[in-house]
């Protein structure tokens, strides 16, 4: 397996077991000497960065089955055939990863570019898409697997894998992300049939375990993600992050090694802090007869052959340090890298102030909105930049000239004003800034007065007068009546009128003078409930023109006799009528039954009446038919 590709050692976090060919550590052939900090073969690659310094690497057994996609049921013939790599499964609904193999296809039919060759391990890999243009930005392809044994809650794990890139336009830098779920059943694929669901977090049951930003161009790049699960997990899904991406971006995976971190080895012991310029690296386990060589970014540091190494105070850029140990018997081991990086701490904040309360930034009083940067030094001597997004809200000093009419009031904050003068009120704006409003108030004198007359209590159905009186009609520009009861008809321009309200009603009489001031008075008519109808106790249908018909009698409070039914003493209905007009004899009972005169005697009536306010009442009783 060819593992040393370019800066591979910067990414692999474990001890390698290396079989040495000579004390000078030249690998494969003597073209490149691997510990002299010189490009001996002129290929632009020095020491451990050169493929000539190649050695077998014993990676731990992956918890992911078929991690290099070598076990297959058939050769792929097109896209979306990941299931040919046993036992891999499509993880995302609709959007499906592609199986690539030298025996089949090596290029996506839509996305331009072939798999970089050789592949890191064997002849198979997987290709996947991160987004699509337009409204398909959530089309993301993920690779999922059921693990050979569960990830244990609280245990530290490392995923080491290779990511393949096409050109910088098709395969820009992206965030490689690993997700986990408790069970395989129901979680692969995630999201059911929703092809626009995006990432596993949108489907439920998943948690994000870790991520790493990876970049490259027409090459394979090794990267690692270390994480600690918060619960036992049996399934992992690997792919891009959850952010929608409206572009055709495409990448490849190979050799996914997932195992407990302790199985990968360890770094040198580190003391000190990069910001303090006192970082010291030490080999933890030392044995007699061993020799040592330190490397920076894969290049030997000449003269640094002890078990410890102090990083120079002049080191300001990011660098990766490792130690190679020769046991004196022709076998060596190389440590996982320690990445030296002076952290640049940047924090952002948003501050809102009022324009009369300046804030100190860079020892200056600032009262203008904008973005400001300040540089500080932490207790560990690290540079810390604070970015302040300053929002300045205005305070207000407002002067108003307002006019009201006599008998009106003006509301200014908590003040109720009806006299001329200058008034001030303090307010707090919605942004929390103090503001002042000053009002110069003028009160217009009214030259008329009005009087609404006719307050009274009436029974339902009665008619009553109301009157509007204006003190000086010559100074009245207009006048009108309005009513609180829209169902009660009213003449809005009559000074005098009769009204018949069906409920207690306020009638407002208002007039405007020529200054535009409105003067108002009102009259209230109280309506008392009155639901009475007179049903005669006897009638004599003998044709003498007196009391020949039976029908109820009422007042103007009745809207309609909904029905009147009359029964004889044996329960026979002798008369029936609906919607009788009140007081109209021709609709009453004429004392006949089946076209013959009914017998004299006692009869029973049942009647239902609707009144003008909509109320319905039921009446029943006895009547006597006389002959």
Find all residues with CB under 8 Å of 246, minimum gap 6, and list them. 131, 132, 133, 134, 136, 137
Cα distances (Å, whole numbers) of residue 480 to 86, 471, 523, 538? 90, 15, 13, 51
Write out pLDDT tens, residues 97-139.
899 999 999 988 778 789 999 998 999 999 998 988 877 878 8
397-406 pLDDT, tens per residue?
999 999 999 8
Q: How far apart are CA 332 and CA 513, in angstroms?
A: 108
At 265, the pLDDT band (50, 70, 90 cuts) reads: low
Query: What DSSP element (H or E) covers 344?
Result: none
Instruction: Tell me what percent of the residues of the chain surpass a pLDDT of 70.
Output: 94
SS3 328: coil
Closest by CA to 179, choosing from 244, 236, 96, is 236
Domains in the chain: boundaries = 8-58+287-340, 82-264, 345-393, 397-444, 450-528, 538-625
How many beta carbons lie within 10 A of that of residue 88, not counting itself?
A: 24
CATH 1.10.10 for domain 8-58+287-340, yes or no, is no
CA 623, CA 613: separation in Å to the nearest integer? 28
List Cα–Cα distances, 214 to 162, 165, 219, 388, 556, in angstroms. Answer: 10, 10, 12, 30, 91
Average pLDDT over residues 361-378: 87
Judge whether 559 and 576 are in contact, CB under 8 Å: no
Q: Is 348 helix (H, G, I), strand (E, B) or coil?
A: strand
Q: What confidence tens digit (pLDDT) does each residue in 460-484 have?
A: 989 999 999 999 999 999 999 999 9
- CA-based nearest residue to 450, from 390, 494, 510: 510
Residue 7 burial (C-beta neighbours within 10 Å; 0-12, 13-18, 19+): middle
Give the whole-angstrom CA distance, residue 563 versus residue 619. Answer: 10
Given a contact cutoff of 8 angstroms between Cβ atoms, the answer to whether 291 and 157 are in contact is no
pLDDT digits (tens, 9 = 90+) for 8-56: 333 333 333 333 333 333 333 457 888 899 988 887 888 877 767 754 4
Rounded Cα distance, 457 and 280, in Å: 102
**Do 450-528 and 538-625 have matching folds?**
yes
Look up residue 153 and give its DSSP letter. Answer: T
Q: How far is CA 467 from CA 237, 450, 493, 508, in A?
A: 85, 10, 11, 11
Q: Are 533 and 552 in contact (CB under 8 A)?
A: yes
Fold that domain 82-264 belongs to in CATH: Jelly Rolls (2.60.120)
The CA distance from 311 to 338, in Å, is: 11
Task: Label residue 57 by pLDDT band (50, 70, 90).
Answer: very low
What's residue 382's pLDDT? 81
Question: CA–CA separation, 406 vs 421, rounded Å?
Answer: 14
Q: Please report how many Cα atoms fall inside a 13 Å half-sphere around the Cα of residue 159, on the Cβ side.
A: 27
With H, G, I as helix, E, B as strand and everything else as coil, classify residue 262.
helix
538-625: CATH topology is Immunoglobulin-like (2.60.40)
- Give the span between the Cα atoms of 319 and 17, in whole angstroms: 23
- Contact yes or no for 617/531 (Cβ under 8 A): yes
Please report the pLDDT score of residue 29 as a whole number: 44
The CATH number of domain 450-528, selected from 2.60.40.1080, 1.10.1510.10, 1.10.3210.10, 3.40.50.450: 2.60.40.1080
Pick from 220-234, 373-387, 411-425 the range whose average pLDDT is largest: 411-425
Backbone φ and ψ for 413, nearest 5 degrees, come out as 60, -120
Name the percent of the chain lying above pLDDT 90.
49
pLDDT band, residue 266 (cuts 50/70/90): low
Rounded CA-CA distance 47/71 in Å is 35
**Per-residue confidence (pLDDT) for residue 22, from 0 to 100:** 34
DSSP code per residue over 430-492 = TTS-EEEEEEEEEEEPPS--EEEE--EEEETT--EEEEEEES-GGGEEEEEEEES-TTS---T
Helix (H, G, I), strand (E, B) or coil at 274: helix
As a whole number of angstroms, the distance between CA 500 and CA 488 comes to 7
Sort 392 into a burial class: Cβ within 10 Å, 0-12 / 13-18 / 19+: buried
Q: Are 167 and 225 in contact (CB under 8 A)?
A: no
Looking only at the bridges linking them, the beta strands covering 538-539 and 616-625 are parallel
Q: Report pLDDT digits (tens) over 540-596.
A: 999 888 999 999 988 888 988 999 999 999 999 999 999 988 878 888 999 999 999
Q: What is the DSSP letter of 45?
A: -
Tens of pLDDT, residue by residue over 591-617, are: 999 999 999 999 999 999 999 888 999
Q: How far is CA 101 from the centre of its chain?
A: 42
- Which strands, in side-by-side order, build the sheet including 476-483? 456-459, 518-528, 505-513, 476-483
Residue 14 vs residue 488, higher pLDDT: 488
Least confident of 42-56, 379-393, 419-433: 42-56
Cis peptide before 189 (omega within 30 of 0): yes
Tell me 380's DSSP state. T
Of the candidates 123, 115, 168, the residue with the CA atom closest to the CA atom of residue 2: 123
- 211, pLDDT greater than 80: yes
Of the candidates 132, 138, 120, 160, the one whose C-alpha atom is nearest the C-alpha of residue 252 is: 120
Strand-pairing partners, residue 292, are: 325
Q: Tens of pLDDT along 277-327?
A: 899 999 878 888 888 999 998 899 999 999 999 999 999 888 888 888 888
């Amino acid at each position: 397996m060819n593992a040393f590709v370019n800066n591979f050692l910067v990414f692999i976090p474990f001890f390698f077991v290396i079989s040495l060919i000579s004390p000078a550590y030249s690998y494969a052939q003597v073209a490149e000497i691997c510990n002299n900090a010189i490009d001996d073969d002129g290929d632009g690659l020095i020491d451990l960065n050169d493929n000539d310094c190649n050695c077998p690497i014993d990676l731990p057994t992956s918890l992911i089955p078929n991690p290099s996609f070598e076990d297959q049921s058939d050769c792929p013939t097109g896209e979306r055939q990941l299931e040919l790599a046993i036992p891999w499964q499509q993880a995302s609904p609709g959007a499906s990863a592609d199986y690539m193999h030298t025996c089949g296809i090596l290029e996506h039919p839509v996305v331009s570019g072939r798999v970089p060759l050789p592949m890191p391990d064997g002849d198979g890999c997987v290709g996947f898409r991160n987004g699509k243009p337009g409204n398909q930005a959530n089309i993301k392809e993920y690779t999922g697997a059921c693990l050979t044994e569960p990830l244990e809650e609280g245990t530290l794990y490392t995923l080491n894998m290779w990511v393949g890139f096409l050109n910088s336009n098709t395969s820009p830098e992206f965030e490689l992300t690993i997700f986990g779920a408790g069970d395989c059943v129901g979680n692969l694929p995630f999201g059911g049939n929703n092809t626009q669901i995006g990432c596993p977090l949108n489907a439920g049951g998943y948690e994000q375990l870790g991520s790493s930003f990876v970049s490259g161009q027409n090459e394979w790049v090794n990267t690692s993600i270390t994480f600690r699960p918060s619960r036992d997990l049996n399934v992992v899904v690997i792919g891009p992050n959850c952010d929608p991406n409206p572009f055709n971006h495409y990448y490849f995976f190979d050799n996914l090694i997932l195992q407990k971190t302790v199985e990968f080895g360890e770094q040198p012991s580190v003391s000190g802090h990069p910001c303090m310029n006192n970082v010291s690296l030490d080999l933890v386990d030392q044995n007699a007869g061993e020799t040592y060589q330190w490397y920076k970014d894969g290049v030997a540091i000449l003269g640094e052959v002890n078990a410890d190494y102090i990083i120079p105070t002049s080191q300001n850029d990011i660098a990766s340090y490792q130690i190679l140990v020769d046991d004196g018997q022709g076998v060596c081991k190389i440590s996982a890298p320690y990445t030296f990086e002076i952290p640049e701490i940047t924090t952002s904040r948003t501050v809102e102030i009022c324009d009369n309360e300046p804030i100190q930034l860079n020892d200056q009083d600032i009262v203008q909105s904008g973005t400001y940067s300040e540089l500080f030094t932490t207790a560990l001597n690290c540079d810390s930049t604070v970015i302040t997004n300053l929002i300045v809200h205005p305070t207000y000093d407002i002067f108003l000239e307002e006019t009201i009419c006599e008998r009106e009031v003006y509301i200014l904050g908590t003040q109720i004003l009806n006299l001329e003068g200058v008034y001030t009120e303090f307010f707090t704006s919605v942004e929390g800034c103090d503001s002042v409003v000053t009002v110069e108030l003028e009160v217009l004198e009214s030259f008329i007065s009005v009087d609404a007359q006719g307050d009274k209590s009436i029974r339902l159905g009665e008619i009553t007068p109301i009157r509007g009186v204006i003190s000086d009609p010559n100074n009245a520009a207009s006048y009108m009546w309005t009513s609180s009861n829209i169902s009660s008809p009213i003449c809005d321009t009559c000074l005098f009128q009769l009204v018949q309200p069906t409920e207690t009603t306020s009638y407002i009489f208002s007039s405007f003078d020529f200054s535009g001031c409105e003067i108002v008075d009102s009259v209230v008519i109280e309506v008392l409930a009155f639901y009475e109808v007179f049903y005669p106790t006897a009638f004599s249908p003998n044709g003498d023109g007196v009391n020949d018909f039976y029908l109820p009698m009422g007042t103007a409070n009745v809207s309609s006799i909904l029905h009147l039914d009359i029964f004889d003493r044996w329960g026979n209905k002798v008369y029936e009528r609906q919607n009788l007009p009140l007081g109209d004899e021709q609709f009453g009972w004429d004392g006949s039954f089946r076209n013959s005169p009914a017998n004299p005697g006692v009869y029973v009536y049942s009647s239902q009446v609707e009144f003008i306010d909509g109320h319905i009442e039921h009446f029943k009783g006895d009547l006597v038919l006389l002959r």
